């Protein structure tokens, strides 16, 4: 029975349906974040949605989606952060979300462009991309705190050394999450997810 389920989930129509279902949940997460006045996180979740719908828009085919496992990996931390009630859970979700976006970018390059990556380069690329995104996110938060008086990064009454320490912990956590996402790509997506089984012929030709 497990092999039958595996074949079912590799079918492009089933894969597309599952991917669109997850995209719908992401859209709900965006709306929920806006409703809860978490605008920065809503923008982050919207970026995941934009990346997920890019292939079907580009190829004008609703079945041309990312593997549902990849969409799911990107969706889970975003949904977790949207509904998180425990601060630690939210922070962990942030690290995983940054890594998931990096994974989505790498998978899209691998499946929808002529780019092909070796396992080692794929891991390194995801790690570097994750760190870059974490750095950009830190700059965005710092800029918002300076320009708009928010407390996304600069907390009132918290010593500067403590803020810097927390930021370094974020970068370390992002690195670990990036390595995990890179390994997932190298040892699962490249070896188990067959693009020819899940994508229309005109995409894989």
Element (H, E) at 157: none
pLDDT beyond 60 at 196: no
Report the predicted TM-score, pTM, of the whole model to 2 decimal places: 0.73
79 located within any domain? yes
pLDDT beyond 70 at 192: no
205 located within any domain? no
Distance CA 104, CA 67 (A): 10
Distance CA 113, CA 204 (A): 9
pLDDT of residue 30: 87
Q: Please state the rounded mean pLDDT for residues 22-30.
A: 90
201 located within any domain? no
Domain total of the chain:
1
Mean pLDDT of the chain: 78
Confidence of residue 54 (pLDDT cuts 50, 70, 90): very high
- Per the model's pLDDT, the better-predicted residue between 71 and 93 turns out to be 71
Distance CA 122, CA 188 (A): 12
Distance CA 204, CA 55 (A): 13
Where in the sequence is the domain holding 175, given as residue range(s)?
A: 2-196
């Amino acid at each position: 029975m497990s092999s039958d389920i595996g074949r079912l989930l590799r079918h492009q129509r089933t894969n597309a349906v599952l991917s669109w279902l997850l995209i719908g949940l992401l859209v709900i997460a965006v709306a929920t974040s806006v409703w809860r006045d978490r605008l920065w996180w809503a923008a982050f979740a919207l970026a995941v949605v934009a990346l997920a719908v890019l292939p079907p828009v580009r190829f004008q085919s609703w079945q041309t989606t990312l593997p549902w496992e990849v969409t799911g990996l990107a969706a889970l931390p975003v949904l977790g952060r949207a509904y998180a009630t425990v601060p630690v859970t939210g922070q962990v979700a942030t690290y995983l979300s940054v890594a998931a976006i990096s994974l989505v970018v790498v998978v899209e390059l691998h499946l929808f462009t002529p780019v092909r990556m070796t396992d080692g380069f794929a891991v390194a690329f995801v790690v570097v991309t994750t760190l870059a995104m974490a750095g950009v996110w830190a700059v965005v938060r710092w800029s918002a705190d300076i320009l708009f008086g928010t407390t996304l990064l600069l907390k009132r009454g918290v010593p500067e050394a403590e803020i810097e320490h927390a930021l370094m912990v974020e970068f370390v956590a992002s690195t670990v999450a990036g390595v995990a996402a890179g390994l997932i790509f190298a040892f699962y997506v490249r070896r188990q997810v067959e693009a020819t089984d899940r994508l229309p012929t005109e995409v894989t030709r």
